[in-house]
């Protein structure tokens, strides 16, 4: 898979993983792993970019004597998911055109 395409796809997967409820790094990886490969070294830069873009907010809480950072999706993040879904719909139409022989 193209690296840039995968990067964008992973960002949307991370947003989808926290769409219903806030979550933390390890759980996000666990939720995404059945669908696409992601590591901690990939996840945390994505989370930083999403935070910088206003797509997620964070809070820190103590858990078992350690601080755990929780991520919550924002309206900006939800809009990014919808934009992705709309784009994929367009790609599907193009893919159908291509696989069906160019409309012949």
Q: Assess if residue 37 is contained within a domain.
A: yes
- Answer whether 0.95 is exceeded by the pTM: no
Q: According to the model, what pLDDT value does residue 18 have?
A: 98
Q: Assess if residue 104 is contained within a domain.
A: no
**What's the Cα-to-Cα distance from 87 to each of 23, 48, 96, rounded to whole Å?**
26, 24, 14
Q: Assess if residue 12 is contained within a domain.
A: yes
For residue 35, the enclosing domain spans 3-99
- Residue 61: give its domain's CATH number: 1.10.10.10
Task: pLDDT tens for the chain, 104 residues: list them.
Answer: 666 677 789 999 999 999 999 999 999 999 999 999 899 999 999 999 999 999 999 999 999 999 999 999 999 999 999 999 999 999 899 999 999 886 65
**DSSP secondary-structure letter at 100?**
T
Q: Assess if residue 17 is contained within a domain.
A: yes
Residue (of 68, 87, 69) closest to 11 by Cα position: 87
| DSSP string of 64-85, one letter each residue | TTEEEEEEEE-HHHHHHHHHHH
CB 67 within 8 A of CB 61: yes
């Amino acid at each position: 898979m193209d690296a840039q395409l995968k990067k964008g796809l992973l960002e949307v997967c991370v947003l989808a993983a926290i769409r219903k409820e806030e979550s933390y790094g390890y759980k996000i990886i666990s939720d995404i792993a059945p669908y696409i490969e992601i590591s901690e070294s990939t996840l945390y830069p994505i989370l930083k970019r999403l935070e910088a873009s206003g797509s997620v907010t964070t809070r820190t809480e103590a858990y078992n004597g350690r601080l755990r950072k929780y991520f919550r999706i924002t309206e900006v993040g939800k809009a990014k998911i919808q934009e992705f879904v709309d784009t994929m719909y367009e790609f599907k139409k193009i893919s159908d055109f291509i696989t069906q022989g160019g409309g012949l």
